[in-house]
Chains A and B, each alone.
Chain A
Amino acid sequence: MTFEKVVFYLFATILVLAAVRVITARNPVHAALFLVLAFFSSSALWILIEAEFLAITLVLVYVGAVMVLFLFVVMMLNINIDVMREGFIKYLPIGVAVAIISAIEMGIVITGNFGADKSPALVRKPADYSNTEAIGQVLYTEYLFAFEVAAVLLLVAIVAAIALTMRKRPNTRYQNPSSQVVVRKEDRLRVVKMDVEDKQS
């Protein structure tokens, strides 16, 4: 077994174990941290197939930003696990149906056009081959329209998320920094001249 294979099986094992723990861990914070581990291992696998741009972006976007926010929310919520387990039997049929559908879909993909013999053999590129440049080339020429549509979709999602949570509450208090900055001493402070009080004897 070559060194590469050892590394592959190591990270693949970690990935599968972590993914299983994501759905079996009782504590939601643990589940989120296992998801981080799963992302990290899969990025290591991407590095193995020399897709370093995608691997680093996976770590940067999902591990560095998305999962941080996830953890932030999960930690703040203080989820009561007992309440979440109550509807287990009630939702079981729907869950099983979704599981069967996704299992069938995965089966179609894997048995259909996936596998070492179905796709062209991977070519080892020379060391100075830039993965990033290649992705940039196709992204901004061939797939420009799809790329722009995706960008607009994300923008809409951002605006929608803000619009959903921005309610005008009557007693919201906030500061206006620009008016704070222009404040002068004369606006706030009044020096009062007073007569001297009677001396206490």
Chain B
Amino acid sequence: MMEMLIDLGFVLLKVFAIIIPLMLGVAYLTYAERKLIGYMQIRVGPNRVGPKGWLQPIADALKLLMKEIVIPTNANKFLFVIAPMLSIGPSLAAWAVVPFSEGLVLSNIDASLLYVLAMTSLGVYGVIVAGWASNSKYAFLGAMRSAAQIVAYEIAMGFALVGVLMAAHSINLYEIVMQQSGGIWHWYWMPLLPLFLVYFISGVAETNRAPFDVAEGESEIVAGFHVEYSGMTFAVFFLAEYANIILISVLTALMFMGGWLSPFQGIPLLESTFLAAPSFIWFLAKSAFFAFLFLWFRATFPRYRYDQIMRLGWKVFIPITIIWILVLGVVIAAKVSYVTLGLATVGIAGAYILFNKLQTVSRSK
């Protein structure tokens, strides 16, 4: 009994070792977002609280903690309060199986990829329950939009992951990263280029981020599903959204960008230097890059029209993923190496973009 308690204590410590940096990351991701979008729009962003505004997220969190939680009349009290927890629970639970570096993983279960997919698909309940329990038309509209959108993109996301597990012959995240070792041209973004793009864009849609943020849609339905939430309950939704952004970035880095592996691995001159060694820093850098893309998208793209979102999900992404799974199956059966497939894919995509560019240039002349 005593041993079991000690084991449990150790697991709890490990959980805290993941959650505390994650929460700090979430806090400073919101700061980074405001600063970055500020600079992109030629503003300064928050710079009042603390040196250069560094304490802004802490101040925001304190403010939200102090505020009253208003429960609307005729709202379903129990569901109203539990909805933010339904939202954050799965987005934290998914971190249990994420490997951070060689041997650095809380729980290295066999079906970790499936587990992550299952957990990310649960996040929608928080949104739906919040929208329904709020007893508000705007919130309900947001919840309905979100439900339809997430179901549509879940399928494309799942198919993209099917491609990854076909290539790696494994559904274990650790194993998937290890299969990609051998330099940047062995990472799966090259042979699985279409799936990589579909996965990341579906990830943006799944987290309800711009340009797919119709569930919130500030200019259309006020704040969508969390319009009635205030104080701490709102903060929990906020935390869940940003934790999901980091999760999607981390998963993209793991599955398509070789996780903690170095891009210089396998290059003759650099092979023996520290640059080629796999390390946590590579993992962090790759994840940070994808998180940056989320913020960049928000500053760049206008919001999608709802029917266009549905068309993109059902009629563009799902066919693309199915075709690429077939291509991958043929490649695996014919025993062609992934590097060849990767070079061919990137070559064709590059040639197509170049051709289009030349065409538009000659047309404008």
Q: Tell me whether B167 is interfacial, beta carbon within 8 Å.
A: no
Chain A 38-55 interface mask (CB, 8 Å, partner B; 1/0): 000000000000001100
Distance of A180 Cα from B122 Cα, bound (Å): 36
Of chain B, the residue at the smallest CB distance from A130 is B110
Query: A56 contacts which of B114, B147, B151 (Cβ < 8 Å)?
Result: B114
Interface size on B, as a range, is 20 to 34
Query: A36 contacts which of B114, B118, B125, B143 (Cβ < 8 Å)?
Result: B125
Q: Tell me whether A132 is interfacial, beta carbon within 8 Å.
A: yes
Q: Tell me whether B115 is interfacial, beta carbon within 8 Å.
A: yes
Stretch in contact with the other chain, from A67-75, A86-94, A150-158? A67-75
Check A59–B4 contact: CB distance below 8 A.
no
Check A59–B122 contact: CB distance below 8 A.
yes
Distance of A63 Cα from B154 Cα, bound (Å): 13
Task: Report A-chain residues with C-beta under 8 Å of the C-beta of B30.
Answer: none
Task: Report A-chain residues with C-beta under 8 Å of the C-beta of B176.
Answer: none
Distance of A45 Cα from B359 Cα, bound (Å): 60
Distance of A86 Cα from B5 Cα, bound (Å): 55
Check B144–A76 contact: CB distance below 8 A.
yes
Residues B243-284 near A (CB distance < 8 A): none
Residues B143-178 near A (CB distance < 8 A): 143-144, 147-148, 150-151, 154, 171
Check A56–B128 contact: CB distance below 8 A.
no
Q: Tell me whether A33 is interfacial, beta carbon within 8 Å.
A: yes
Task: Report B-chain residues with C-beta under 8 Å of the C-beta of A130.
Answer: 110
Of chain A, the residue at the smallest CB distance from B121 is A64
Check B147–A72 contact: CB distance below 8 A.
yes
Task: Report A-chain residues with C-beta under 8 Å of the C-beta of B110.
Answer: 52, 128, 130-132
Q: Tell me whether A57 is interfacial, beta carbon within 8 Å.
A: yes
Residues A64-122 near B (CB distance < 8 A): 64-65, 68-69, 71-72, 75-76
Most chain B beta-carbon contacts within 10 A, residue among A33, A64, A75:
A64
Check A56–B124 contact: CB distance below 8 A.
no
Distance of A72 Cα from B311 Cα, bound (Å): 19
Task: Report B-chain residues with C-beta under 8 Å of the C-beta of A68.
Answer: 124-125, 128, 147, 150-151
Q: Tell me whether B117 is interfacial, beta carbon within 8 Å.
A: yes
Check A53–B132 contact: CB distance below 8 A.
no
Chain B 127-143 interface mask (CB, 8 Å, partner A; 1/0): 01100100000001001
Task: Enumerate 22 A-B pairs (CB-CB under 8 Å) in ascending A order.
Answer: A29-B132, A36-B125, A53-B114, A57-B114, A57-B118, A59-B118, A60-B114, A60-B121, A64-B124, A65-B121, A65-B154, A68-B124, A68-B147, A68-B151, A69-B151, A72-B128, A72-B144, A72-B147, A75-B132, A75-B143, A132-B114, A177-B311
Q: Using CB atoms and an 8 Å cutoff, list the residues of chain B in contact with chain A.
A: 4, 79, 109-111, 114-115, 117-118, 121-122, 124-125, 128-129, 132, 140, 143-144, 147-148, 150-151, 154, 171, 307-308, 311
Q: Which 10 A-B pairs have the closest CB atoms?
A: A64-B121, A60-B118, A59-B118, A56-B114, A72-B147, A56-B118, A130-B110, A75-B132, A56-B115, A52-B111
